[in-house]
Structure 1
């Protein structure tokens, strides 16, 4: 079995969250979806598990925060700059909040963060593959 990542997110409204992630290109895996949870697959090795608050609390007693704080930022790689911009736009049109921070823009990469309907922060990004293989650019003294 390949190594995989399952990102578990508590959500206030499961159908709304499923529709949001579907609009961004995630695909529902019905074998792992019911009225309390939904598996939304990004790739063969990345799955976002959307959990109702009741389901979330079956795993932990820790509180679910909704105060706008930032403790986690999930980054997804995309193939082009345009896809990054488009995902941010779609997030805003489907119940999330686009442009939560100014875009990060360099000649070799760019990213553009948004929040889902429950405030979970995502940062789609593009990086030039050749630049990635070459390593970080040299630092200059200011």
Structure 2
């Protein structure tokens, strides 16, 4: 198996969350999904595991954070263009998510931010690597 990442997210309403992630372009992998979890694939090596609170609680003794009130992590998603960044953000809002802050445009990088229905934060972005290198060199960053 190739190296990859599986991000486990606790969700209050599995069906609603599954529909949200499908609406923003994730693919549901039925092989690893059931009434307690939905395996949502972003790419061949990146998946988000949506877990009911009861199932998630079996993996930790810590209380489940209310992501609407606290932030424990922000998930950055890279895209090929600014238009793609705008598209997923608009899809997220239309599917019941919330825009977290206005677009940020650094010239070489463009980003937006949204939250899923449970308050988990995502930051879709596009970056021109050559432009980023130039900007970092101009600022004296190696």
Normalised to the residue count of structure 1, the TM-score between the two structures is 0.91
Aligned: 1:139 with 2:119: no
Where is the strand percentage greater, Structure 1 or Structure 2? Answer: 2
Match of 2:84 in 1: 83
How many Å separate the matches in 2 of 1:128 and 1:30? 36
Matches within 5 A, 1:11-90: 11-66=11-66, 67-90=68-91
Match of 1:103 in 2: 103
Secondary structure, counterpart of 1:119 in structure 2: coil
How many Å separate the matches in 2 of 1:7 and 1:136? 30
Measured after TM superposition, the shift of residue 132 of structure 1 is 5.0
Match of 1:116 in 2: 116
Match of 1:92 in 2: 93
How many Å separate the matches in 1 of 2:72 and 2:97? 18
How many pairs are equivalent? Answer: 139
Deviations 1:9-62 (A, max 9, x none): 000000000000000000000000000001000001100000000000110121
Secondary structure, counterpart of 1:90 in structure 2: helix
Secondary structure, counterpart of 1:17 in structure 2: helix
101-110 vs 11-20, which moves further: 101-110
Secondary structure, counterpart of 1:104 in structure 2: strand
Secondary structure, counterpart of 1:136 in structure 2: helix
How many Å separate the matches in 1 of 2:41 and 2:59? 21
Normalised to the residue count of structure 2, the TM-score between the two structures is 0.91
Structure 2: state its 5+ residue gaps: none
Q: Is the 8 A contact 2:109 2:132 kept in 1?
A: no
Measured after TM superposition, the shift of residue 134 of structure 1 is 5.8
Measured after TM superposition, the shift of residue 139 of structure 1 is 1.4
